[in-house]
Structure 1
């Protein structure tokens, strides 16, 4: 896969960045010019859920990208959550995020959903999270990477039934833990009988109060409607009188006003009487409402947070929950969970040459970068390590780089897909320029078939490099 260009549009603003087939360096002499923004917009344009950078909302831009996959050209246009994909013959619309995998199957040429689920963490390293992501965790935003899923994908070892069972068990455990917390809370509640009596009194008065409030609302609305009609009638009367209209009947001139308009006066009197009746009804309701509120205050049952807590305590106390029974159920579910996880683990690792392949590559490049077995163990289970705390910034940086190369290589050897390698700020985290040179030499030497896009404030000395310089900002 090769990225030919990205075109960014917002109104009359239009900026296009072209990429070469081999080595591309997005360069600026200082930080905060937009190198990260450009790379993230590139990932966003490819259909990933990517967080915007400060001051720039990606959803406000139309992003067009042309990619090349096995001599076939694709044009993607992303407009917020809509991606339009065109090739030489066809046009297809995708709605994100629901159609993300469907889109990525086409543009990456990969069918396996486990690989697509983890693909961003394979070829893209973000400056914030990417250089600390070894084998599990967040690559950027909501995008995650999991080495076990990735290996099952490339080795075509699916565990759908086990994964579904695992999710169901985890959901049950979560619910039972909430139940266990409730059982623990029951033990803390004291004086439940007193709470029961108090809450019952509160319930009776509170229910009566709510009924009166519900009854009052339509009456209040009717009063507002009447007052509006009366006001409009008065305005109409004043308007007619100000016009000084006169009608003539049998030679007698009759002024047009409130008294001569047939039915106007009677209608006005009817509305006024009806308004008085509604006001009286509202007044009676308000007295009842105020009386109940006063009773609540006198009995110490004011509708505040304390009373709600007391009611909650009473309701919890009525639940029949056995702490020991729930604890026992959780323990049993945890054992089932471990058994299923062990099945998935064995399915992933046992007699899997892809595990050996990743380990050999990681071990090879780690040694070349100056790391020995103190940091990278010789046994193949090392690639599943959870021990990241012992790794310093520079050491972790180099190991992450080795892991990424292994993932990229495995996609190529297993599927024949040559992914681009996109690195944001590889010179960070205390890595000296000598180690950066070794990293770049490895890329030039062993990954010449791959398109490489790097963003950095350093202008690396590499032959035939395409320099994309950002002087002030990416959207200049």
Structure 2
């Protein structure tokens, strides 16, 4: 399959225009001649959006004002995809099908990628598209790119891929693991209650308990102070992020003019350069502090719960747990005489934990014995040998199921690409089809020109039949058949200030 051309028709109060782009069956370079923020990523997003994926257009555009027409070549058949806002029509040899997006995304993808198993379609984007904002870092269980309509982002799950290739029920495995976790949690809760019920109630707290309460009070105070500081930081960074996001509206309202070398220039949305790296840092900082806030709140709750258990009985306000205080003591008395012991509960917990581990081991052994596990890794090793990663990636240690990759910077980006391209080759060989390979701004992940040349050489060697579309201003040794120059925006409507 390859992308033949795309027509973009966009109109709103800020910008409007029509533009058509054609692509080579082999290699197409999208460049802005060294000038960033000129429309390369916008074109890539219009392509994916026009194919029916639930991705956001770049910040300058809103999907409700966008119309696209895409022609895909699939074997001996031409597919025409016409999208207007959230409605897409697919015209093929079977007639015309109409889809409402994102509700019918999976149905659309089954019609477009008809050779691919339906359970793989949620992940298919992650193996032919590398997003500039994080796509070169995403590996197993990581997000490839954010969906437009909800939080269920496009992500990669190697376990589910291998399960599908081997005919295993991955969802059943996940449900089974979740059930074990729930049983373990409930058993732990019962154990805690038993410990509370079977301990002799004291009228006063012993010296050791007093010392323990003092320690808990100190730990609670430390975390509460840190929590206050974090809440203050969240407010600051959230306010900065909000100001950043509202900057364009503010510029539009103020209608500013600036004087440079005797000439007056109007500052507006079209010539305002957005610092994407700053926005990403602000967003990730807010996410980090939100996560830390939740973690601290849980730690404080746990510490307070521990302290409550150590307090003398007459200091415990059981009314907060039961409508009538006597209910609590009646329950304590019943459990104390039930014959259930702490050791029996601990034994039950250990048995559940062992069954969960056995279930996981059984599943992992099954997927590792399948041919996909070894063949995908062999593909990755072949890519690694071409890109100079043989020292880290070799045939003797299969790291396919690793959650995290140890590499960082440009080395990580190169490693992630090698892994995902190895999976792509296996999928294509298994289902006997090809996908257009789309790389957006590899320099955003610290990938230098030398590494980019290595990747493109590996693609040419290992995936010779794949269409390659690369959006970058970097130079490389790869000979592209076609070059698309975008210097005035994807609609060619930006004013050239150079």
Which stretch shows the higher mean deviation, 407-416 or 314-323? 314-323
Deviates more, 1:398-407 or 1:332-341: 332-341
The TM-score, its normalising length taken from structure 1, stands at 0.65
What whole-Å deviation, never above 9, does each CA across 1:302-333 have from its counterpart, x for those lacking one? xxxxxxx9975445976769896988776655
Question: Residue 382 of structure 1: SS of its match in structure 2?
Answer: coil
Alpha carbons 2:139, 2:404 under 8 Å: kept: no
What is the root-mean-square deviation in Å for CA atoms of aligned residues? 3.4
1:27–1:459 Cα contact (<8 Å) kept: no
1:470 corresponds, among 469, 476, 486, to: 486
Following the alignment from structure 1 to structure 2, what is the Cα–Cα distance between the partners of residues 334 and 149? 23
Unaligned ranges ≥5, structure 1: 189-308
> What is the correspondence of 1:79-98 to structure 2 with a 5 Å cutoff?
79-98=84-103
Mapping of residues 161-180 of structure 1, within 5 Å: 163-164=171-172, 166-167=174-175, 169-170=177-178, 173=181, 177=185
Partner of 2:359: 340
For 1:463 and 1:33, how far apart are their aligned partners in 2? 23
Deviation per CA, 1:321-373: give whole Å up to 9, x if none: 989698877665544433332232122111x2222222222122223222233
CA 1:151/1:166 → structure 2, altered by over 3 Å: closer, same or farther? Answer: closer
Unpaired runs of 5+ residues, structure 2, are: 147-152, 197-316, 336-340, 494-498
Q: How many residues align?
A: 352
Work out the CA distance in 2 between the residues paired with 1:429 and 1:331. Answer: 45
Match of 2:20 in 1: 16
> Which residue of 115, 134, 138 maps to 1:110?
115
Once the 2 structures are TM-superposed, how far is the Cα of residue 90 of structure 1 from its aligned partner?
0.4
Cα distance in structure 1, aligned partners of 2:319 and 2:9? 57
Question: Which digits, 9 at most, give the CA deviation of each residue in 1:199-232, with x for residues without a partner?
Answer: xxxxxxxxxxxxxxxxxxxxxxxxxxxxxxxxxx
CA contact (8 A) 1:362 1:399 kept: no
- Residues 25, 453 of structure 1: 8 Å contact kept: yes
In structure 2, the partner of 1:159 is: 168
Q: Does 1:443 align with 2:459?
A: yes
2-structure distance, mates of 1:56, 1:453: 22
Q: TM-score, with normalisation over the residues of structure 2?
A: 0.62
SS at match of 1:36: helix
Equivalent position to 1:138, from 143, 147, 151 = 143
Corresponding position of 1:2: 2
Residue 63 in structure 1 maps to residue 68 in structure 2: yes
| 3-state SS, counterpart of residue 488 of structure 2 | coil
SS at match of 2:400: helix
Q: Partners of 1:457 and 1:96 in 2: how far apart?
A: 33
- Residue 181 to residue 109, structure 1, CA distance change in 2 (3 Å): same
Shift of 1:110: 2.4
| Residues in 1 aligned to 2:173 and 2:388: alpha-carbon distance in whole angstroms | 43
- 8 Å CA contact 2:184, 2:353 repeated in 1: no
Preserved CA contact (<8 Å) 2:140 2:404? no
